[in-house]
């Protein structure tokens, strides 16, 4: 508030007024009594100067008080601004949970919105002019580009999307092995574990597949099925093991049909038929796979027995196919039921 300038101007004005009163108004001396106390006799000009000095001190005190209040308020806003930048960085990083405390009402309003939001920067955004946020934006871009970055300084949770993506990048670049990932699900999460398991089961023996079968997915099961009697990485697996693998998943009728299609290329027909017979005994959804297997192997009589004992609204596609077969229409079941 330019207190120094105000003080210089006030002192000049006080001196000018005192000189004017003494030189042109009166040089008389007077006594002043304040609260019963008689003060020394001074010229009128001196009392005018004293009054102005008191007024000056009062105004200076007033200005200093509100200057201090303004400084404290400004400091509060500055701290909130710094805190806001941290909140924005957390929103970019997807930190959860977030509950930032702002001291000013305006920042608190924005803070409540940011705490409940995840900010996704535009792919073309490289910087905004603030080192803290620019660092976060750069890290996000590097992770999205498939690079591996150091995230420990941000203290993110293992299930954070950026941490998961960064770990996937580490895995893709060979910094993590399949077993490194599968042994530490709490660190690497389900998505990466499922990806690692799918790659893992492509070459390992049956006991290793069983060790981590809790990570079984439809994709990894398909990899296992393709290894049955394959020329490379051949897998000799019992029907009981295959049944246990299917129990790890929530499969529907079409899934079991697809399993039968995959096994049709390599599995012994009798073993394949026995597998789906066993599956159908414990899982109603597997009956479609069993019917598909029977028709694919031209086992028409047992297939028709199942269809004849079923409800009218069940297995409509297979019943239609069976009707065509009864009229000597030799359609391939693979073309008729996709």
3-state secondary structure of 245: helix
DSSP string, 277-310: HHHHHH-TTHHHHHHHHHHHTT-HHHHHHHHHTS
- How far is Cα 275 from Cα 239, in angstroms, rounded to an integer? 6
The one-character DSSP state at 204 is S
Q: What is the pLDDT along the chain (338 residues), one digit of tens a residue?
A: 577 888 888 889 988 988 988 888 888 888 777 777 777 888 888 888 888 898 988 988 888 888 788 777 778 888 888 888 888 888 999 888 888 888 888 888 888 888 888 888 888 888 888 888 999 999 999 999 999 999 999 889 888 999 999 999 999 999 999 999 999 988 998 899 999 999 999 999 999 999 999 999 999 999 999 999 888 999 989 999 999 999 999 999 999 999 999 999 889 999 999 999 999 998 999 999 999 999 999 999 999 999 999 998 999 999 988 888 888 767 778 777 76
Residue 37 sits at φ, ψ, to 5 deg, of -110, 125
pTM of the prediction?
Answer: 0.72
pLDDT digit string, tens, across residues 154-198: 889 888 999 999 999 999 999 999 999 999 988 998 899 999 999
Q: What is the pLDDT of residue 270?
A: 94
Q: What is the pLDDT of residue 247?
A: 93
- How far is Cα 260 from Cα 296, in angstroms, rounded to an integer? 9
Burial 155-164 (b: 16+ CB within 10 A, else e): ebeeebebbb
Q: What is the pLDDT of residue 64?
A: 83
- How far is Cα 103 from Cα 14, in angstroms, rounded to an integer? 43
Q: What is the pLDDT of residue 219?
A: 96
Domains of the chain, by residue range, sit at 1-119, 250-338
**Residue 41, number of CB atoms within 10 A of its CB:** 11
Count CA within 13 A, CB hemisphere, residue 217. Answer: 14
63 within 8 A of 69, measured Cβ to Cβ: no
Q: What is the pLDDT of residue 134?
A: 92
Q: What is the pLDDT of residue 276?
A: 95
Is 40 exposed, middle or buried (CB count within 10 Å of its CB: 0-12, 13-18, 19+)? exposed
Long-range contacts of 203-206 (CB under 8 A, 24+ apart): 203/233, 205/235, 206/235, 206/236, 206/237, 206/241
- How far is Cα 118 from Cα 121, in angstroms, rounded to an integer? 10
Task: Tell me the angle at which helices 286-296 and 300-308 cross, rounded to the nearest 10 degrees.
Answer: 140
Count CA within 13 A, CB hemisphere, residue 82. Answer: 5
CA dist list (Å): 283 to 88, 139, 215, 253, 280: 51, 48, 21, 10, 5
Q: What is the pLDDT of residue 338?
A: 66
Q: What is the pLDDT of residue 324?
A: 85
């Amino acid at each position: 508030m330019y207190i120094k300038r105000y003080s210089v101007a006030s002192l000049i004005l006080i001196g000018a007024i005192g000189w004017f009163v003494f030189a042109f108004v009166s040089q008389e001396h007077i006594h002043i009594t304040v609260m019963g106390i008689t003060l020394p006799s001074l010229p009128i000009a001196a009392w005018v100067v004293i009054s102005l000095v008191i007024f000056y001190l009062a105004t200076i005190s007033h200005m200093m008080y509100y200057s201090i209040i303004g400084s404290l308020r400004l400091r509060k806003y500055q701290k909130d601004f710094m805190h806001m930048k941290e909140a924005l960085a957390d929103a970019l990083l997807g930190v959860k949970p977030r509950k930032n405390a702002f001291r000013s009402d305006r920042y608190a309003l924005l803070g409540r919105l940011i705490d409940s939001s995840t900010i996704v920067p535009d792919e073309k955004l490289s910087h905004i002019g603030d080192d803290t946020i620019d660092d976060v934006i750069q890290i996000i871009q590097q992770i999205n580009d498939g690079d591996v970055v150091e995230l420990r300084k941000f203290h993110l949770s293992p299930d954070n999307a950026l941490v998961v993506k960064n770990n996937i990048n580490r895995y893709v670049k060979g910094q993590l092995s399949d077993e490194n990932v599968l042994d530490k699900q709490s660190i690497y999460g389900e998505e990466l574990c499922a990806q690692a398991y799918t790659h893992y089961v492509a070459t390992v023996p049956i006991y290793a597949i069983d060790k981590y079968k809790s990570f079984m997915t439809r994709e990894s099961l398909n990899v296992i099925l393709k290894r049955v009697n394959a020329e490379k990485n051949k897998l000799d697996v019992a029907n009981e093991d295959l049944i246990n693998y299917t129990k790890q998943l929530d499969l529907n009728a079409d899934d079991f049909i697809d399993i039968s299609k995959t096994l049709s290329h390599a599995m012994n027909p009798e073993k394949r038929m026995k597998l789906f017979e066993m599956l159908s005994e414990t899982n109603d959804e597997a009956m479609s796979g069993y019917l598909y297997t029977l028709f694919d192997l031209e086992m028409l009589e047992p297939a028709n027995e199942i269809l004849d004992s079923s409800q009218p609204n069940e297995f409509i596609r297979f019943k239609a196919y069976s009707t065509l077969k009864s009229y000597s229409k030799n359609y391939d079941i693979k073309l008729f039921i996709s």
